[in-house]
Structure 1
Amino acid sequence: MFKKIGLVAAVLIGISGCSTYSVNRYAVSVDNISSLKNIAGSKLNVGTFDTVGESKTSIMCRGVGPIKTPDGQSFENFIRKAFIDELTMAGIQDPNAPITLTGTLDSIDFSSASGNWVIAMTVKSSNGNSISVSESYSFTSSFYGETACNQTAQALMPAVQNLIGKIVQNQDFPKLIEGA
């Protein structure tokens, strides 16, 4: 009897695995587009984005399962693509532009318990200027791991929107695009 219960328990644990929590695809922010349209006439290119430390495509959430970016891209490339989407919608992204912006993801982490994403990034211009920004994005979490991890995954996209907003609305952003 106990052998059968043990065998059934082992099989159930083996086939249940862990959940994967996917981040939504990026959607541009109206506020960011408005800010970028204020620099009309400028054209910008976006170069590579790298990260401090190891590049990640997922971060484990409470031991319940990983939070993953869409299409298995790294977090820095998720942010890079989001930045390109914002510039494209504002009509200022151009791969042949005289100014190229690159980025370094200085850090990215979350707390599914307190409901908070923390992202820090440095953006560098080919003209020699750079700015560093950070976003601490709060969201509603849950005591239950499954719910909390799902809410954490859903909160990354608006956290990145806010991060990009802090970049393009930064008082030093015009210095990054001088010569564009």
Structure 2
Amino acid sequence: MIRLVALCLVVAVLSACSSSPSRRFNVDRQSIEKPIVIENITIAPFKAPPFFDDNCRAAGKIAPPDRATFESYIQSALAEEIRRSGLANERGAKVALFGEVKMLAFTSTGAFSDPWWMVRVKVTSSNGKEFDIGEKYDFKTSSFGAYKACQEVADAYVPAVKRMVAKMVGAPDFLPLLVQ
């Protein structure tokens, strides 16, 4: 009987360690570890943050959509936002953007606040100009259960990045990165 209880306990603990990928959001597979070229703008692969703990409670690791890395997802989101905004111009001066994720962190629950994502990115242009931006994205979880809450954390990464990238591309300090 004791062995059966011990076996059930081991199975329960091990089954809680699953990955929670977020839902799909237009990640271009070519962006994983490769530059993305949009007319006159090349977006180099982003550097990973110096430290990021992707473990979420007892539910295991979270992951961005489509098996991308967290930094390649940001690279793809930036490329998509530049495409949508019409900032790329085939006849414009060629520039390359180099990104570095300076900070990536989340919490799945808070005693005194909602769960959140924090994303901070530095983008450097081949023209020597730099732009830093950060975003704290608050969201709600509907569950105290680890698996459901961690799935909601993974899902919240998409709008957190989307909002940060939209603010970045819409900022007046971003445009000088695109000229020689």
TM-score over 0.5 for the pair: yes
Percent identity between matched residues is 30
* Structure 2: gaps (5+ residues): 28-38
Residue 173, structure 1, aligned to residue 169, structure 2: no
| Deviation for aligned residue 1:27 | 4.3
| Deviation for aligned residue 1:121 | 0.2
Q: 1:160 to 1:3 in 2, by over 3 A?
A: closer
Q: Secondary structure at the match of 2:148?
A: helix
Equivalent positions of 1:13-162 (< 5 A) are 13=12, 16-27=15-26, 43-53=40-50, 59-90=54-85, 92=88, 98-113=94-109, 114-141=114-141, 142-162=143-163
Q: Write the letter of the residue equivalent to 1:135.
A: E
Aligned length: 162
- For residues 125-167 of structure 1, the C-alpha deviation after alignment (integer angstroms, 9 at most, x for no partner) is 1111011000100110232222211111111100011110121
1:97 and 1:178 mapped to 2: Cα distance? 6
Q: Write the letter of the residue equivalent to 1:108.
A: L
| TM-score of the superposed pair, with normalisation by structure 2 | 0.77
1:51 and 1:163 mapped to 2: Cα distance? 17
Q: 1:117 to 1:15 in 2, by over 3 A?
A: closer
Q: 1:66 to 1:175 in 2, by over 3 A?
A: same
Q: Write the letter of the residue equivalent to 1:80.
A: Q
- For residues 105-141 of structure 1, the C-alpha deviation after alignment (integer angstroms, 9 at most, x for no partner) is 0010101103100000001111110110001001102
Greater shift, 17-26 or 72-81, is seen at 17-26
- For residues 18-77 of structure 1, the C-alpha deviation after alignment (integer angstroms, 9 at most, x for no partner) is 23211223249xxxxxxxxxxxxx8322122113425x6x71101212111234332111
2:10 and 2:55 mapped to 1: Cα distance? 24
Residue 12, structure 1, aligned to residue 11, structure 2: yes
Q: Write the letter of the residue equivalent to 1:99.
A: V
Q: Contact 1:45 / 1:97 at 8 angstroms: preserved in 2?
A: no
* Structure 1: gaps (5+ residues): 29-41
